Amino acid sequence: MNPWDKSVRSTPSKRSAERPWPKLLTRPTVPMPVVGQERAAAPIATGSEWTMPILEKFDAALIRHAQRNGLVTFPVQYEVITADQMLDLCSTVGMPVHYAHWSFGKHLVSQERGYRKGLSGLAYEIVINTNPSLVYLMETNTLALQVLVMAHAAYGHNAFFRNNYLFQQFTQPDAILDYLKFANGYVLDCEQRYGWREVEKTLDCCHSLSSYGVDRYRKPKSLSARRESERLAERLRFAERHFNPDYAYLFEKPKQAEGSEEAVPFEPQENLLYFIEKRAPKLAPWQRELVRIVRKVAQYFYPQRLTKVANEGAATFWHYTLLHDLYDAGQVDDGFMLEWLSNHSDVVAQPSFDAKHYHGINPYALGFAIYRDIRRICQQPTGEDREWFPQLAGRDWRESIHFAMANFKDESMIEQYLSPKVMREMRLFLLHDDEEDRSVYAVKAIHNDQGYMRVRQSLAAQYRPEFFQPTIVVARDGADHDRALLLQHRVESGRLLDADSASDVLKHAQTLWKFDVVLEEIDAEGNRLKIHRT
Amino acid sequence: MSDLVAPNRYMRIVDRRADPPGRGTVNRERFVRRFKDEIKRAADDEFAKRSIKDVGRGGRITIPGRGLKEPYLHHDDETGDRDFVLPGNREFIPGDTIKRPQGGSGKGGDGDEPGTGEGRDEFGFVLSRDEFLSLFFDDLELPNLERTRFGEVTMERSRRAGYSRDGSPGNLSPAMTVRMSIARRIALRGAINRRLAELEEERAGANPARCIEIDEEFERLVRRRDSLPFLEDVDRRYRSRAPMPAPATRAVMLCLMDVSGSMDEHKKDLAKRFFALLYLFLERKYGQVEVVFVRHTEKAEEVDEQTFFYDPQSGGTLVLPALQLAHQIIEERYTGEQWNVYIAQASDGDCGLDDGRQSANYADEELMPVVRYFAYVDIPSVTGWFVRPSDLWQSYEAIASPAFARRQVRARSDIWPVFRELFARKEATA
């Protein structure tokens, strides 16, 4: 029995008697996948032991089901690794090559400790957006878990990486590993030439600004390690060949005529690191390269930050679907199903807001619920669905899912697809934290008809990057006499910057800029609310 | 099934489990390098807590989280208005209010912000043994630990060295002897048979006189062949043992410390570091080292480590009883060639001149013959800039044995150089 119902019954009150929602549905309403005609005579494997040939057989089976479901993916390369290697990987945001930095070591030692003490488990899987896609399987996983990981990562995530517009626009899966190898070598080289302290200092500064090293709208130029090396070598050659202090003035850019700067007003720029790389007055060339590396890496990870719910939801939905397909085809047995379902339900568990282990909305749970509901709406629409989702009701569910995977990020997906039913099941409600009264949160809307749109919009807004990351722009060219860099924080609904972290970050920015850095907080009307200086 | 696989698609499973550890180690080193000072401080605290036998092990340490911050810009949750959505509504309808949870903004609904290391006061992690040692000895600028040799002690031990033709009857090897006997008999019998065959051939075409000779020899040889002795002296083989030099394998370290009132915490800490360092050296050399703690005021007693370092005691100082007790312990438990006895004595050297002289005498005559090495560290009281050599220091000048060394230690950074000096001299004279 659901504990919520019990507690409701035990404390009958007037208010709970008029609760506006129907009784919780106890039975899942998503239909099981259609039973296939052909059934295998015996499961591919039973028990929890696995071998490479067994995994290959499972992959062959998964390919078939994935193709039947119309999944388009990059080719896959599985790598079987140990727990220690998994720890290593986790410490470098999953990338098998990365430049060396102490912060990765910090993550490593803290994760290591948690893992050794049994406080935290390890990630089951890591998948990297490369072509071919790298999927890491940990050796300690059981057979059911390995197959779960394969379906989740090698087909779910992989298909998302391949088809989602953000990934197509902002990442180059063909080039990233080569680029990181180049970055690794370059950082090592710099450490040898300029000393590790200097290199670390520069990287620290870049890291603190890395969320602002991203082009959010422009398609970045494609990555290529070879081109980067060539560019550097060419620049060095040119400098060596042509440098002569007597004639240096010949190569200086012609000064612009007075007043022409007035003619072209400075446009605010959002890519801070790009601006610093190009315009910082006194940065050494190798430091500019480091800035560039950090912003390229940040750019590569940018889509992942925008698609947590959509990406994890798709992967979870597809492992759920593909593994059920395996079951329907008689390729796995009941024990296998029970085992991965148990893991699956841990992954998609959503503790309620007042539970002890509540850590925000679980992207797996929300994403999975949304995708699963898209399928339900397509296959078994209710009147409510026809009203809200006329474009989905009765359509081919595979097409609709692929469309949802390809064309949305978290914000827009929630805005488009969060159905009243999912909202009821997750019991979402909207709170307002007002500056006037900090002692309480006011409940603004709940999952009823009147509240639906409002909760949905607010939840979508919660996944806007501006919600969790203040908007900062470079507001003035630092070319005037004091060469100060002017940054502006575009304040939304009165939310100011945390002063301590702002002053730390400004110090880092100043280290790169080498002159004063000023950060103004400006509201929508252009009033200056606060000013931070280094 | 395989024909369904698209032709351009390939699938590979690569086993990476045997790959050498890579980036993790690199990044870890960088982390330790960067926070060396903090980690060292934490390691020092850890050192104070540990038994000297455990100093060399890895372990968990905690460093303050301040320097670990990787700052990033984020909103101050105390400002502005904010709408956020939470799951799991059970009882609220619009218009209700929820009390803000205590402990600030933890329930903000923004669970996955980057840089989770920030704001934590402490950061704990586990250091490996090697990291721990290199940190612990960093103050001491430890050069190559392996190459330092001191007090190299060997004893003769006989080892099996095959078989020899002579030896004491007790070492006779019957199996080998019988084997030699069989070999001898086969060899002789073969030689005789060959000779018999020759004689038989010769007899066929020989004159009668020669025939008689041949017959006689033939008979003699047959007799001899049939009565070959089962054992002869030449068959005897003895298990042979040859003396080989072998390092003595067991070591005991006696820590002697003055715990009279004048030995304050600082001095005890220095002494503990010295003992721990000696222990590590000996452990590397011998594998297992027994440690005996003898503390003394005006009387000496054997105690456990905790009591040794941390039990406060007051009283006067007499060194001699401690040396006598040490001698008695050695006599009772650690006699014999296989024991390498090391004595490390730490004291502020505050004793009567008479006691000093007697102690020096006793050490020179009774102790030095039975120990490998006797190291005395003098931790003088620092009063102003003038440091007077302590009484015991002066008295010990009389000890002439090359296996005795004394040094003065004032600060932690002195310990390693002193240690090196102590054993370098030994190496030079050895």
Which residue among A60, A79, A492 sits closest to B5, beta carbon to beta carbon?
A60
Q: Residue A208 and residue B71: Cβ atoms within 8 Å? A: yes
Residue A66 C-alpha from the chain's centroid: 24
Euclidean distance between CA atoms A129 and A126, whole angstroms: 10
- Statement to judge: residues B129 and B36 lie in one domain: yes
Domain that holds residue B134: 25-68+122-138
Distance from CA of B50 to the nearest CA of A (A): 20
Residue B26 with chain A: CB contacts under 8 Å: 100, 105
Cβ contact A147:A91 at 8 Å: no
For residue B354, name the pLDDT band (cuts at 50, 70, 90): confident
Of all residues in chain A, the one with the smallest CA distance to B102 is A439
Give residue A378's identity as a one-letter amino acid code: C
**Whether residue B275 sits in one domain with residue B194:** no
Report the interhelical angle of B36-49 vs B265-286 (nearest 10°): 90
A421-424 long-range contacts (CB < 8 A, ≥24 apart) are A421/A373, A421/A376, A421/A384, A421/A385, A422/A369, A422/A370, A422/A373, A423/A447, A423/A452, A423/A455, A423/A456, A424/A21, A424/A22
A8 vs B contacts (CB less than 8 Å): 90
Q: Which residues are within 8 A (CB) of B64 and not within 5 positions of it... i.e. 6 or more apart? A: B38, B121, B122, B123
**B7 pLDDT more than 60:** no
Mutate to test the interface with B, among A495, A505, A529 (most CBs of B within 10 A): A495
Which residues of chain B does A367 touch, with a Cβ-Cβ cutoff of 8 Å?
none
Whether residue B100 contacts residue A474, with contact meaning beta carbons closer than 8 Å, is answered with: no
Give the Cα separation of A139 and B17 in Å (integer): 8
Q: Is residue B365 part of a domain?
A: yes
- Residue ranges in A117-195 assigned as alpha helix (H): 143-149, 158-163, 165-170, 176-194
Query: A177-201 pLDDT, tens per residue?
Result: 899 999 999 999 999 989 888 999 9
Which is more confidently placed, B315 or B102? Answer: B315
Domain boundary among B189, B208, B241: B241
Two tokens at A529? 């609310």
Confidence of residue B266 (pLDDT cuts 50, 70, 90): confident
Find the CATH number of the domain harbouring B358. 3.40.50.410
CB contact under 8 A, A498 and B24: no
CB atoms A451 and B94 under 8 Å: yes
**Å between A440 CA and nearest CA of chain B:** 4
Instruction: Give the per-residue pLDDT at B133.
Output: 65
The answer to whether the Cβ–Cβ distance between B86 and A353 falls below 8 Å is yes
Angle between helices A285-306 and A272-279 (to 10 degrees): 170
| Residue B364 shares a structural domain with residue B411 | yes
Whether residue B90 and residue A352 make contact (CB cut-off 8 A), yes or no, is: yes
| The two three-digit tokens of residue A57, written as one number | 């057989």
Task: Tell me: pLDDT of B377 over 50.
Answer: yes
Distance, in Å, from the CA atom of A465 to the CA atom of A492, rounded to the nearest integer, reads 12
Q: B270 and B228 in one domain?
A: no
Residue A22's pLDDT band, with cuts at 50, 70 and 90, is: very low
Task: Please count the structural domains in chain B.
Answer: 3
Q: What does the alpha-carbon distance between residue A142 and residue A449 come to, in Å, rounded to a whole number?
A: 45
The predicted pLDDT at position B142 comes to 38
The answer on pLDDT for B108 being more than 70 is no
Find chain A residues with C-beta within 8 A of B80's C-beta: 435, 491-496
Distance CA A76, CA B13 (A): 9
Per-residue pLDDT at B1: 36
Does B167 have pLDDT greater than 80? yes
Q: What is the mean pLDDT of residues A50-76?
A: 91
Residues of A in contact with B92 (CB under 8 A): 429, 443, 446
Distance of CA B369 to the CA centre of its chain: 25
Cβ separation of B126 and A116 shorter than 8 Å?
yes
Contact between residue A92 and residue B27 where contact means Cβ atoms under 8 Å apart: yes
Regarding predicted confidence, which is higher, B380 or A496? Answer: A496
Would the ipTM clear 0.90, i.e. be above it? no
Sheet of B250-258: strands edge to edge? B300-303, B289-296, B250-258, B339-347, B373-378, B404-408
Q: What is the pLDDT of residues A297-344, one digit of tens each?
A: 999 999 998 999 999 999 999 999 999 989 888 888 888 999 999 989
**Cβ-nearest to B14 among A56, A77, A92:** A77
Lowest mean pLDDT among A482-491, B91-100, B394-403: B394-403
Chain A partners within 8 Å of B86 (Cβ): 353, 361, 428-429, 431
Of the candidates A442, A447, A499, the beta carbon closest to that of B76 is on: A499
Residues B169 and B301 in one domain: no
Average of per-residue pLDDT values in chain B: 76
- Residue A446 CA to residue B89 CA, distance in Å, equals 8
C-beta separation of A86 from A140 below 8 A: no
Which residue did the predictor score with more confidence, B56 or B266?
Answer: B266
**Do residues B186 and B291 share a domain?**
no
| CA B239 – CA B170 distance, rounded (Å) | 9
Same domain, B273 and B206: no
A133-138, strands of its sheet edge to edge: A125-128, A133-138, A76-81, B11-15
A126: region left, alpha or beta (phi > 0 left; psi from -120 to 50 alpha): beta
Residues B133 and B221 in one domain: no
| Contact predicate A527/A499, CB 8 Å | no
pLDDT at B427: 42
According to the 3-state scheme, what is the secondary structure of A320-382? HHHHHHHHHCCCCCHHHHHHHHHHHHHHCCCCCCCCCCCCCCCHHHHHHHHHHHHHHHHHCCC
Q: Cα separation of A172 and A185, whole Å?
A: 20
- A84, A105, A495: residue with CB nearest B80: A495
- State residue B23's pLDDT score: 65
Per-residue 3-state assignment (H helix, E strand, C coil) for chain B? CHHHCCCCCCEEEEECCCCCCCHHHHHHHHHHHHCHHHHHHHHHHHHHHCCCCCCCCCEEEEEECHHHCCCCCCECCCCCCEEEEECCCCCCCCCCEEECCCCCCCCCCCCCCCCCCCCCCEEEEEECHHHHHHHHCCCCCCCCCCCCCCCCCEEEEEEEEEEECCCCHHHECHHHHHHHHHHHHHHHHHHHHHHHHHHHHHHHCCCHHHHHHHHHHHHHHHHHHHCCCCCCHHHCCEEEEEEEEEECCEEEEEEEEECCCCCCHHHHHHHHHHHHHHHHHHHHHHCCEEEEEEEECCCEEEECHHHHHHCCCCCCCCCHHHHHHHHHHHHHHCCCCCEEEEEEEEECCCCCHHHHHHHHHHHHHHHHHHCCEEEEEECCCCCCCCCCCCHHHHHHCCCCCCCEEEEECCCHHHHHHHHHHHHHHHHHHC
- The alpha-carbon radius of gyration of chain B (Å, integer) is 40
User: Are A300 and A170 a contacting pair, CB within 8 Å?
Assistant: yes
The shortest CB-CB distance from A432 to any of B83, B91, B118 is to B83
Residues of A in contact with B118 (CB under 8 A): 501
Q: Which range is most confident: B44-48, B80-84, B126-130?
A: B80-84
Domain boundary residue among B189, B220, B241? B241
**What's the pLDDT band for B4 if we cut at 50, 70, 90?**
very low
Please write the tens of the pLDDT for every residue from B141-151. Answer: 433 333 333 44
Crossing angle of helices A52-68 and A308-328, in 10° steps, is: 100
Containing A85, the helix (H) or strand (E) segment is helix A83-91
Q: What is the distance between the alpha carbons of residues B40 and A129, in angstroms, rounded to a whole number?
A: 40
In chain A, what are the helix, strand and coil shares in percent, each to the nearest 5?
Answer: 55, 10, 35
Q: Which residues have CB under 8 Å from A487's CB, separation 6+?
A: A272, A472, A473, A474, A475, A509, A517, A518, A519, A520
Tally C-beta pairs within 8 A across A and B: 294
Let me know: does B242 contact B159? Beta carbons within 8 Å.
yes
Averaged pLDDT for residues A102-113: 83
Check A63 against B15: CB less than 8 A apart. Answer: no
CA dihedral B403, B407, B412, B413 (to 10 degrees): -90
pLDDT at A369: 95
Smallest Cβ distance to A105: which of B27, B89, B107? B27
In degrees, rounded to 5, the angle at the alpha carbon of residue A131 between the alpha carbons of residues A127 and A135 is 25
Let me know if residue B79 belongs to a domain: no
CA distance, residue B261 to nearest chain A CA (Å): 42
In terms of domains, do B220 and B318 share one? no
Q: Which residues of B touch A462 (CB under 8 A)?
A: 83-85, 109-110
Note whether residue B310 is domain-resident. Answer: yes
> Are B199 and B264 within one domain?
no
The Cα–Cα gap between A393 and A375 comes to 9
Per-residue pLDDT, averaged over A59-69, amounts to 91
Residues B307 and B252 in one domain: yes
Cis peptide before A132 (omega within 30 of 0): yes
Backbone phi, psi, residue A66, to 5°: -65, -40
In B, minimum Cα distance to A422 occurs at B87
Mutate to test the interface with B, among A6, A65, A102, A198 (most CBs of B within 10 A): A102
Quote the CA–CA distance of A87 and B68 in Å, as a whole number: 20
Q: What's residue B245's pLDDT?
A: 64
Question: What pLDDT, on a 0 to 100 scale, did the predictor assign at position A19?
Answer: 43
* A404 to chain B, closest Cα gap in Å: 22
Closest residue, chain B, to A207 (C-alpha): B70
| Range from A31-45, A112-126, B296-310, B382-396 carrying the lowest mean pLDDT | A31-45
Distance in angstroms (rounded) separating the CA atoms of residues B91 and A455: 16
List the single best residue of A353, A358, A469 to mutate versus B (max B Cβ within 10 A): A353
Give me the DSSP letters along A457-495: HHHHHHTSHHHHS--EEEEE-TTSTT--EEEEEE-STT-
What average pLDDT does this structure show over A443-472? Answer: 90
pLDDT value, residue B110 = 37
Instruction: Determine which of B16, B17, B27, B120 to mutate to test the interface with A (most A C-beta atoms within 10 Å).
Output: B27
Q: Does B289 lie in the same domain as B212?
A: no
In a domain, B147, yes or no: no
Higher model confidence: residue B315 or residue B207?
B207
